[in-house]
Amino acid sequence: MNGIGRARRAMACGGRKSVEPMAAVMAPERTAAQHQSLLHFVGSGGWSDEKVLGKIREMVVPAIERQGAVEAWIIDDTGFPKQGRHSVGVARQYCGQLGKQDNCQVAVSLSIANHHASLPVAYRLYLPKEWAEDCDRRRKVGIPAEVGFRTKPEIALEQLRWACASDLPRGVVLMDAGYGAHLIMAWLQQQLARERPDTFTQTAPDRNPNPLQRRGGPYIF
């Protein structure tokens, strides 16, 4: 079965999208063999996640734009609760899904969006320093030598630079304070931006959005 077939079956699978339940949906009569095949495809297969994302962009961005122009670029990270310590990048860190520090993996993403839809256009697993500096763990899971430690804002800035170089449809850059306090803001201001302080707002917990004191944002391409 090719990658497209696997993706279709994965979307048809209810509940968890991990390998075992996918195998049960794809091949109920030979689940164990399909499980091994999927493990190889996901873990050792010679496919490129960047090429997959590129193909998705080709297919989905025109559909989004038919509903209206892209209005925003959204920088965010997503935590995936995990048990154990062997999945790449898993560590005790803040997990947004749980709202607290816990064992999880974290991925940094850049999405484009309008009022009708959004699409992740760049996606990178965050590698905590304890993983990046542990040669034995890196070797066991096959982390490429060129992949080193980068903070989440540094990953996000790399994604922004890539998106600009790729000439993706432009929009307001949205991020929370964990990213906005970083050099991302300085880079946007120096390289790309014009000021719109009249639309720069913040939301405090349990309160309506309030205008921010003028401090130089947001940034619109």
Which of the residue ranges 22-36, 76-90, 108-122 would you say has the lowest mean pLDDT?
Answer: 22-36
How would residue 154 be classed by pLDDT, with cut points 50, 70 and 90? very high
Q: Where would I find the beta strands (DSSP E) of the chain?
A: 72-81, 91-95, 100-113, 118-125, 172-174, 201-202, 210-211
Amino acid 3: pLDDT: 60
- Is it the case that residue 195 has pLDDT exceeding 60? no
Amino acid 22: pLDDT: 80
- Break the chain into its structural domains and give their ranges: 71-192
- Is it the case that residue 198 has pLDDT exceeding 60? no
Amino acid 98: pLDDT: 93
Q: Mean pLDDT in the chain? A: 82
Give the residue among 113, 129, 133, 131 at the shortest CA–CA distance from 121. Answer: 113
pLDDT tens-digit series, residues 18-28 = 778 888 877 88
Is residue 125 within 8 A of residue 107, CB to CB? The reply is yes
Q: What is the distance, to the nearest Å, from the Cα of residue 54 to the centroid of all Cα atoms in its chain?
A: 14
DSSP states of 56-68 as a string? HHHHHHHHHHTTS
At 174 the three-state DSSP class reads strand
Rounded percentage of the chain residues whose pLDDT exceeds 70: 78
pLDDT tens-digit series, residues 142-151 = 899 999 999 9
